[in-house]
């Protein structure tokens, strides 16, 4: 987790700092790994999944910045089947049922922000209690109850 003030900071710089921290803490020689990461700027919060397997994310067309992908990003059926080849589309439907967050268009209308590295809305405001608080809760539940984006 990385927390910054509202002034003189941005989410891209926060992710750069988190990336450096992760690489300093984890033995990258031990193979692929993943982690859930929280970035905060004042009252704004974004939750990401970090995967060290960046080349696979790129190959599958999963948007990422140095391996960081917003937790509310939903894999396409093709991406799902490529990552989980032993699974089927019924399991993909179960995966989709874990997302109790609306699509990007609705999130944008509700004031959820994006960053220059991720054009889809994924930065929520803790002070916006009408919608954002519930979405943030759903994202935390998702990190608790689902595996990472890329299996080890």
- 3-class DSSP string for 9-74: CCHHHHHHHHHHHHHHHCCHHHCCCEEEEEEEECCEEEEEEEECCHHHHHHHCCCCECCEEECCCC
Residue 37 and residue 47 in contact, taking contact as beta carbons nearer than 8 Å: yes
pLDDT of residue 30: 62
pLDDT of residue 40: 92
Please give the residue that has the higher pLDDT: either 150 or 102: 102
Predicted confidence (pLDDT) per residue in 17-71, tens digit:
998 888 877 765 666 778 889 999 989 999 998 988 888 899 999 999 999 999 8
Average pLDDT, the chain: 83
What predicted TM-score, i.e. pTM, was given to this entire model?
A: 0.84
If you ran DSSP here, which 8-state letter would residue 28 be given?
G
Compute the chain's Rg from CA coordinates: 15
Rounded to a whole number, what is the largest CA-CA distance in the chain? 47
Share of the chain above pLDDT 90, in %: 24
Rounded distance between C-alpha atoms, residue 39 and residue 45, angstroms: 6
With a cut of 60, say whether residue 117 has pLDDT above it. yes
Name the least confident of 63-67, 77-81, 97-101. 97-101
């Amino acid at each position: 987790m990385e927390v910054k003030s509202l002034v003189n900071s941005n989410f891209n710089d926060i992710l750069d700092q988190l990336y450096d921290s992760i690489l300093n803490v984890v033995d990258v020689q031990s193979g692929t790994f993943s982690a859930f990461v929280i970035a905060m700027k004042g009252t704004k919060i974004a939750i990401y999944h970090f995967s060290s397997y960046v080349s696979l994310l790129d190959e599958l067309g999963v948007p990422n910045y140095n391996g960081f992908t917003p937790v509310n990003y939903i894999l396409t059926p093709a991406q799902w089947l490529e990552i989980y080849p032993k699974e089927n589309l019924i399991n993909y439907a179960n995966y989709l049922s874990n997302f109790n967050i609306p699509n990007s268009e609705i999130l944008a209308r509700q004031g959820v922000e994006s960053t220059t590295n991720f054009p889809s809305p994924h930065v929520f405001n803790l002070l916006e209690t009408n919608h954002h608080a519930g979405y943030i809760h759903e994202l935390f539940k998702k990190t608790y109850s689902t595996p990472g984006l890329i299996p080890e």
